[in-house]
Amino acid sequence: MMAAEAGSAKNTLAAYRSDLTLASDFLDRRLGAASVADLSRLGEHWLALSRSSVARKSAALRRFFAFLADEGLRADDPGSALPRPGTARALPKTLEHADVDRLFAAIATRLARDPLDPNDLRLAALVELLYGSGLRATELVSLPRNAIAPDRPYLILRGKGGRERLVPISDRARAAVAAWRDTLAQDRAWLFPSGKAHLSRVRLYQLMKALAAEAGIPPERVSPHVLRHAFATHLLEGGADLRALQSMLGHADIATTEIYTHVDSARLVELVNTRHPLSDAQRMPRVDGTKGEA
């Protein structure tokens, strides 16, 4: 149902499968027949987990029991017994413009080597697309060989949930992709091949961590998703329209995109506190000529 009707992505299906399997193991393989008391006990077992993990697990199980009830496989739906911790939406991690400049400087140093390593061309193409187009990691590594055309400044992408969207591709990114693609054999199906398949998400993460270390940035601060966040944050800082940003990122709900307005607001507050003339809390002159608190 999740695959055929809801159109869930592979990663979502894998997460649901994992959560359902772990819950079933805890309940001695009796998940389908679990009672309200069983699910209350399961909720207590989750107490040591983060709120976000509990929320995700509860959502997966509630959908499972709703499915059983809809299909007539159960007469009741015990899902209401599962915890609803709520999730405090954290501000996404992002990078300053200077950090991004350092990443690209490290890439430029690599590309200046003689002889040139084709893997450095691949790295340049990956980072240009992550930061320049805001692609998700899975979307990026699974691009077909000819998905990006030299004469077309966009691509039509089928992303999360099977939703199609138009993704702008900068001149820089198209040039980087073209340089990398010239090194590929004609029979390769993927733009970023690896063995018989395409580059894995895990390997992409490793490449980003290694590049961060090379650029003098703590590796834990850089990941494919952080570069996607930087793409969105920096576009918004530059005056991008929120609806346009929602479309480019492929968010189903604009509330997801609105989190970047909080990032921008936090930056503005910081600017006021650190750059405003009154930020040093100087004493303001009183009417009598003395100074009072600012």
Mean pLDDT within 59-80:
92
Helix (H) or strand (E) holding 154: strand 154-158
Shared-domain flag, residues 223 and 257:
yes
Please check whether residue 148 lies inside any domain of the structure: yes
pLDDT of amino acid 273:
60
Please check whether residue 221 lies inside any domain of the structure: yes
pLDDT of amino acid 249:
77
Shared-domain flag, residues 60 and 180:
no
pLDDT of amino acid 105:
97
Residue 212: pLDDT band (50, 70, 90) is very high
pLDDT of amino acid 19:
94
Flag whether pLDDT at 215 surpasses 70. yes
Shared-domain flag, residues 226 and 140:
yes
Partnered with residue 135 across adjacent β-strands are: none
pLDDT greater at residue 45 or residue 275: 45
Shared-domain flag, residues 102 and 209:
yes
Flag whether pLDDT at 12 surpasses 60. yes
Residue 224: pLDDT band (50, 70, 90) is very high
Flag whether pLDDT at 284 surpasses 50. no
pLDDT mean across residues, the chain:
84
Classify residue 253 as left (phi > 0), alpha (psi -120 to 50) or beta.
beta
Among residues of the chain, what percentage have pLDDT more than 90?
50
Among residues of the chain, what percentage have pLDDT more than 70?
82
Domain boundaries, position 32: 10-81
pLDDT greater at residue 10 or residue 253: 10
Shared-domain flag, residues 63 and 110:
no
Q: What is the CATH number of the domain that holds 201?
A: 1.10.443.10
Please check whether residue 276 lies inside any domain of the structure: no
Please check whether residue 61 lies inside any domain of the structure: yes
- From the candidates 160, 198, 229, 234, which is the catalytic residue? 160
Residue type, 99: D
Flag whether pLDDT at 271 surpasses 60. no
Shared-domain flag, residues 77 and 110:
no
Residue 236: pLDDT band (50, 70, 90) is confident
**How far apart (Å, rounded) are the C-alpha atoms in residues 52 and 26?**
20
- From the candidates 136, 165, 198, 229, which is the catalytic residue? 136
- From the candidates 41, 145, 225, 267, which is the catalytic residue? 225
pLDDT greater at residue 274 or residue 24: 24
Flag whether pLDDT at 149 surpasses 50. yes
Residue at which a domain ends, from 25, 54, 81 = 81
Mean pLDDT within 36-65:
91
Please check whether residue 19 lies inside any domain of the structure: yes
Please check whether residue 22 lies inside any domain of the structure: yes
Shared-domain flag, residues 32 and 153:
no
pLDDT greater at residue 285 or residue 104: 104
Shared-domain flag, residues 21 and 69:
yes
Q: Does 251 participate in catalysis according to the annotation?
A: yes
How many domains, the chain? 2
Residue ranges of alpha helices (H) inside 114-222 are 118-133, 137-141, 171-181, 201-214
Please check whether residue 5 lies inside any domain of the structure: no
Residue at which a domain ends, from 52, 81, 110 = 81
Q: Does 93 participate in catalysis according to the annotation?
A: no
Shared-domain flag, residues 184 and 236:
yes
pLDDT of amino acid 118:
96
Shared-domain flag, residues 37 and 156:
no
pLDDT of amino acid 279:
54
Flag whether pLDDT at 2 surpasses 70. yes
pLDDT of amino acid 194:
94
Which of 61-70, 198-207, 211-220, 253-262 has the weakest average pLDDT? Answer: 253-262
Please check whether residue 293 lies inside any domain of the structure: no
**How far apart (Å, rounded) are the C-alpha atoms in residues 256 and 21?**
29
Q: What's the predicted TM-score (pTM) here?
A: 0.63
pLDDT of amino acid 287:
47
Per-residue b or e along 99-133, where b marks 16 or more CB atoms closer than 10 Å to that residue's CB: bbebbbebbeebeeeeeeeeebbbbbbbbbbbbbb
Q: What Å distances lie between residue 175 and 144, 170, 171, 250, CA to CA?
A: 17, 9, 6, 24
Residue 50: pLDDT band (50, 70, 90) is confident
Q: Does 260 participate in catalysis according to the annotation?
A: yes
Shared-domain flag, residues 153 and 205:
yes
Pairing of β 291-292 and β 284-285? antiparallel
Q: What is the CATH number of the domain that holds 46?
A: 1.10.150.130
- From the candidates 174, 228, 229, 234, which is the catalytic residue? 228
Shared-domain flag, residues 69 and 189:
no
Q: Does 160 participate in catalysis according to the annotation?
A: yes
